[in-house]
Amino acid sequence: MSETSETNETVVRVNHFRKLYGDLVAVDGISFEAHRGEIFGLLGPNGAGKTSMLECLEGIRQPDGGTMDILGIDPASQPRRLRDLIGVQLQIAGLPATMQVKEAMRFFSAYHKVAPRYDLLDRLGLGEKLDSQYDELSTGLQRRLALALALAHKPPVLFLDEPTAGLDVGSRAELHTLMQELRDQGATIILATHDMAEAEKMTDRVAILLRGKIVATGSPRELTATGAGFTKVSVRTEQSLLAADDTNFPAVSQRAVKEEYVIYFSTDPGPTVSAILQYIGTQNDKLIDLRVERPSLEERFLEITNSGGVQ
Amino acid sequence: MTAFVNHFVFEFKTGLRNSNLLLMNYLFPLAFYAMMGLVMTQVNPTFTETMIPAMVVFVAMVSTLLGLPGPLVESREAGIYRSYKINGVPALSILSIPALSTIFHVLIVAAIISFTCAPLFDGVVPENWGNFVLVTVFAFGALGALIGVISANSRSTVLWSQLIFLPSMLLSGLMMPLDILPESVRFVSALLPATQAMQAYLGLAYNQATVIAPLASVGTLLVGGILAFGLAIYLFNWDSRNDVRRGNPLMALLALAPYVAGAFLMR
């Protein structure tokens, strides 16, 4: 994962975007930018407004307020100009039940006026399913096909809505590799996901949505660093002297014993680890295992959403 | 052009691969044709005089009114049009290509009936093969597309289709001559596209006396088809989850205006 985007060129720009469904405000004044060569994550619980926002950016729905543009094109007023610039894997979409895999590639490539990318089908594990009809594919294969179709015309901007839902471990890893390659080639990827591990691993920056508003934004590392979450320092020694000794180490606010490990919750792990190692040395004990785990994005996400977005 | 050809070939194949469409495009019409040839010609020998036009109009109605609208609604419900939209497939292609491929299936079955009716059932062969057959199938294809566009779900598709199909079977001259119907019923009959199609067919292909001038019927079908297709494009909704749609579905009733006007041309 690259810490910063390749360039600072803004590719997707959203300003004070609003979306209403009757009286329900689904998205309320959201603003963000995504840059070239960046994977930008949209995180949020169900109903947070992620899909509404993506569908407006993709030109499928009309926004009720604010402005948005993709490479200078307004999706609401110029959706046709957008078609060859974006690749979209929708959360809810389908293909005709009787459409074969190779037919689907030929069909959509022709509408994008590009040669069919059968190599993508091979890469995504569909090479042996070229003659299979859409309704004969498993959910995972259907999602892989949707992804191959989204990539076939080499769009500079990709919208992926829960791309790994229903994928097995191997396919998921392959998709992640593919996303990294595309990012390295300069593509901008807007990734909506519920999978925090995926967001933490894949995205350069994320925005956390809650009840139609962005409540936190930044790189996963920045977000996890700014929370009240503690770094977990787990220690196991030969004589387990730490388990019986409740010595106060610097920056530790809480201590627990679990099986053969003593776990310290530290606000500043450097001094804590240093003091623990020194203590073990002075006690003539022997270190067997030491693990330092910073708070995960998932823990930070839960912290933010449970507090209702108040930080 | 490549996109159009790919799309057309796919839709044409779908008419054969999809079991429901295969039933509506081929199995049901041909089975009904065989049954009518075996039974109706024995019960009413004069039926052979109108059997070919009656069966061709029947095939057109089954394929377009009963076969075409369902997949259009199901595609919208299944989010297929969302996939199409984000990949730049225009609404015109989404409606016109299935209608066009259905028209091709109808023409294939119509040809089978026309060439086999005489040797198998002593059907009277038309003297003149005019473009009115194409106009007839186009008018029904456009109506089928319009029904698919305005129907909220598959059940209402059946309702709208049967609203035209059933009276057409009874009153349009397919099963019995129009002139044996009471005067009041005959006017209602003239409101049906199938009646206009039968009148055009009988008048132009068989030089038979008709209650509506055949060319007027062709004109009614042509205007009705253009209007229905135009309305289908205008009222087309990409997405059943999208509550914002263009036009009121009741506007579809305008497609019947040419048939109302055509009914007044009845002699």
User: Chain B partners of A146 at a C-beta cutoff of 8 Å?
Assistant: 83
- Which residue in A has a C-alpha nearest to residue B17's C-alpha? A98
Which residues, at least 6 apart from A59, have a Cβ–Cβ distance to it below 8 Å? A75, A76, A79, A82, B85, B86
Are residues A96 and B17, on separate chains, in Cβ contact within 8 Å?
A: no
Residues 219 through 248 of chain B touching chain A, CB cutoff 8 Å:
238-239, 241-244
Q: How many CA atoms lie within 13 A of B122 on its CB side?
A: 10
- A165 or B8: which leads in pLDDT: B8
Helix residue spans in chain B (DSSP H): 2-17, 19-22, 28-35, 41-43, 47-61, 69-77, 80-86, 91-121, 132-150, 154-171, 183-190, 193-206, 214-235, 257-263
pLDDT value of residue B173: 86
Contact (CB, 8 A) for A30 and A213? yes
Instruction: Report which of B104, B99, B136 is spatially closest to residue B236, judged by C-alpha positions.
Output: B99
| pLDDT (tens digit per residue) in A51-107 | 888 889 988 888 899 999 999 999 988 888 888 899 998 876 689 999 999 999 999
Mutate to test the interface with A, among B10, B80, B87 (most CBs of A within 10 A): B87
Whole-complex ipTM: 0.84
Burial of A77 (C-beta count, 10 Å sphere; 0-12/13-18/19+): exposed
For residues A223-239, one letter each, b for 16 or more C-beta atoms within 10 angstroms of the residue's C-beta and e for the rest, the string is: bbeebebbbbbbbbbee
- How high is the pLDDT of residue A193? 87
Separation of alpha carbons A28 and A30, rounded Å: 6
Chain B within 8 Å of A84 (Cβ-Cβ)? Answer: yes
Say whether pLDDT at A150 is over 70: yes
Closest-CA distance, B51 to chain A, in angstroms, reads 35
DSSP 3-state percent helix, strand, coil across chain A (nearest 5): 35, 30, 35
Is residue A272 classed exposed, middle or buried when 0-12, 13-18 and 19+ CB atoms within 10 A define those classes? buried
Tens of pLDDT, residue by residue over A251-305, are 887 888 888 898 888 888 889 999 999 989 888 889 999 988 877 777 777 777 7
Write down the pLDDT at residue A230.
75
Distance from CA of B37 to the nearest CA of A (A): 34
pLDDT, mean of residues A181-197: 90
Structure tokens belonging to residue A219 = 């790189």
A38 in helix, strand or coil?
A: coil
Closest among B154, B145, B172 to B252, alpha carbons compared: B145
Rounded to 5°, angle at Cα B133 from B128 and B134: 130
CB spacing of A96 vs B10 below 8 angstroms: yes
| Residues A20-30, mean pLDDT to the nearest whole number | 87
List, for chain B, all residue ranges whose pLDDT scores fall below the cut of 70: 130, 240-245, 267
Give the pLDDT score at B241.
64
Q: How many residues does chain B have?
A: 267
The verdict on A60 touching B (C-beta cutoff 8 Å) is: yes
Contact A93 B3 (CB under 8 A): no
What pLDDT does residue A310 have? 56
Distance CA B135, CA B214 (A): 12
pLDDT at position A309: 59
What does the pLDDT read at residue A3? 43
Mean pLDDT, residues A45-49 taken together: 84
How many CB pairs below 8 Å do chains A and B form together? 74
Are A233 and A212 spatial neighbours (Cβ–Cβ below 8 Å)? no
Q: How confident is the model at residue A2 (pLDDT cuts 50, 70, 90)?
A: very low
Q: Dump pLDDT digits (tens) for A192-201.
A: 988 888 888 8
Closest CA to A281 of A248, A238, A243, A311: A238
Q: What is the pLDDT of residue A1?
A: 44
pTM: 0.80
pLDDT at B16: 92
Average pLDDT over residues A116-124: 91
* Mean pLDDT, rounded, for A200-212: 89
Binary contact (A99, B78; C-beta < 8 A): no
Among B83, B240, B243, B244, most A C-beta atoms within 10 A, so best to mutate, is B83
Cα B188 from Cα B209, distance rounded (Å):
19
Place of tokens 């078609």: A83
Long-range contacts (CB closer than 8 Å, 24 or more residues apart) made by B162-169: B164/B61, B164/B65, B164/B192, B164/B193, B164/B194, B165/B61, B165/B62, B165/B65, B165/B66, B167/B192, B168/B61, B168/B192, B168/B193, B168/B194, B168/B195, B169/B58, B169/B61
Q: Measuring CA to CA, which residue among A185, A188, A181 is closest to residue A10?
A: A188
CB contact, 8 Å: A106 with chain B?
yes
Out of B3, B82, B88, the one facing A93 most closely (by C-beta) is B82
Name residue A161's beta-bridge partners: A192
Alpha helices, DSSP H only, in A98-214? 101-111, 118-123, 139-151, 169-184, 196-202
Q: How far is A21 from chain B (nearest CA, A)?
A: 8
- Predicted confidence at residue A21, as pLDDT, reads 85
β-strand A65-70 against A287-293: which pairing, if any? unpaired
